[in-house]
Homo-oligomer: A and B are copies of this chain.
Amino acid sequence: MPSRALDEATPIPESRIAHFDHEADVVIAGLGCAGACAAIEAAAAGTDTLIVEQAAGGGGTSANSGGLLYLGGGTPLQKALGFEDDPESMFAYLMAACGPGADEALVGPYCEHSVEHFHWLAGLGLPFKEAFFPDSHEPPGDESLTHSGSEEAWPFCEIARPAPRGHCASVVGPKGPLLMQTLLAAVERARARVQVGVRARALVLGEDGSAIGLVARHRGEDIAIRARRGVVLTAGGFIHNAEMLARYAPALTRCRYKVGTAGDDGSGIRMAAAAGAATLRMDAGDITLPLFPPVSLKEAVLVNRFGQRFVNEDAYMGRTGELALLRQEGQVYAIVDEPGFVRPENAPTEVAATGDTWGELESELGFAPGSLAATMELYNHHARGGSDPVFHKQPRHVRPLERPPFGALDLRAETTWYAAFTLGGLWIDAEGSVQTPTGEPIPGLFAAGRTTSGVAKQGYSSGLSLGDGSFFGRRAGRAAARTRG
């Protein structure tokens, strides 16, 4: 994936624009999930809406994704499948799981209006099937509901009543394409205009500092686009801008699989920050270990380079990945015994060491004598009684590892493929208004999706990017349509 340099994003004063090449009420930069939802709502509000997209067509990273949307609070699908949920439980979970520093101002409305958001998505034609997938990741089949975070795992299960909140379109395989086909069809029905091959690169600011348009690259030339009402930045994150990643989120540079498209080059963040917008938590990212689906990991024992456990292995894969990379230097292994070797899910993982005793295994791994043995003896001691009082893995995943040969699956960042995308970005309020460092909205400027720091300030659960991108994308589109109206 190519990485763009930090191209020029300094805002351009209105006085320097000789003429505007295009004009619309609401101008949106980027046509992924957030941009499509912004466009649908802005157009529904009766405004002339123009979306510019740098790629040859709409879809972006959303179309390449698994397609989960984190929704809850008692959606029709949750109810039909017998799961109790309410906005308070959803809020309690997200405030605990999306921190430190999860923003009540975003998480609150996101939970309170999640059922309405479900109905809106269903109303666009997104097909949901009343079928539940019990493993906690994207359903490989056509089920539409699954656990997509650490809801059932310690400590979150003690903080909020667990409920599955990963909702997705009913289709076999990845659900991102159908999600975006549905949203793009709605964009078209709404008569929002789309111009592809146009890359927004800088804001145009009025004399009072408000955003009144964009300058964009089109066929190698700058063009100017006036926004009579508002500008919405939904241009993705910056996982594919190597320079920004090294500068702002150096830990993520170690993840070899960078989840996104070439459009995730940070352009939306740069152009707003250069105009005085505040950025938040630019170091943050979603990080997952190179084991997918991660089912088998739950029965293994994850250890760091000191031979210690560091997480309950049944936590959401984004949590194990985050803790592995950010807290254990990405130096981790999954310890298995004989049955663990034959699980097909583990097949792509290299075996870093094997041994008939813990001593042999720790020696082959270069661990200190007795270190891994002490960990495994403690784990097995409690596992024989069916519990994990140290890290609180749920009893159904606890099994003593005592059938040699033992093995250590290599899950180190430098030798395997950690997957990551960025979570840091612009500070928005609940209406999608982009904020200055003093917490004032920049007039006329809105944003959503991974161009912003959203619901997940650091901790992640699957479906939160499409979830908050679509939710705050809608709000940004509506707010932009109201501006200067």
Enumerate chain A interface residues (CB-CB to B < 8 A): 6-11, 13, 99-101, 207, 209, 243, 246-248, 250-251, 269-270, 273-276, 278-283, 306-309, 326-327, 368-371, 374-375, 377-378, 381-382, 389-391, 427, 436-440, 457
Contacts and interface: CB of A to CB of B under 8 A. Distances in A.
A201 to B, nearest CB: 10
A457 to B, nearest CB: 8
Contacts of A6: 437-439
Contact of A276 (B11, B308, B370): B11
A370 B283 CA distance: 37
A101 B246 contact: yes
B283 A273 contact: no
B100 A280 contact: no
Nearest to A208: B13
27 contacts: A8-B438, A10-B209, A10-B436, A10-B440, A100-B250, A100-B251, A243-B439, A247-B280, A248-B280, A270-B438, A273-B276, A274-B276, A274-B438, A275-B276, A276-B276, A283-B283, A306-B309, A306-B391, A326-B327, A368-B382, A369-B389, A370-B378, A370-B382, A371-B390, A374-B374, A374-B375, A374-B378
- Copies of the protein in its oligomer: 2
A485 to B, nearest CB: 24
A100 B413 CA distance: 15
Given A273-B437, A279-B279, A282-B282, A378 B382 contact: no
Contacts of A437: 6, 9, 269-270, 273-274, 279
Nearest to A7: B438
A385 B269 CA distance: 55
Contacts of A374: 374-375, 377-378
A274 B277 CA distance: 6
A378 B371 contact: yes
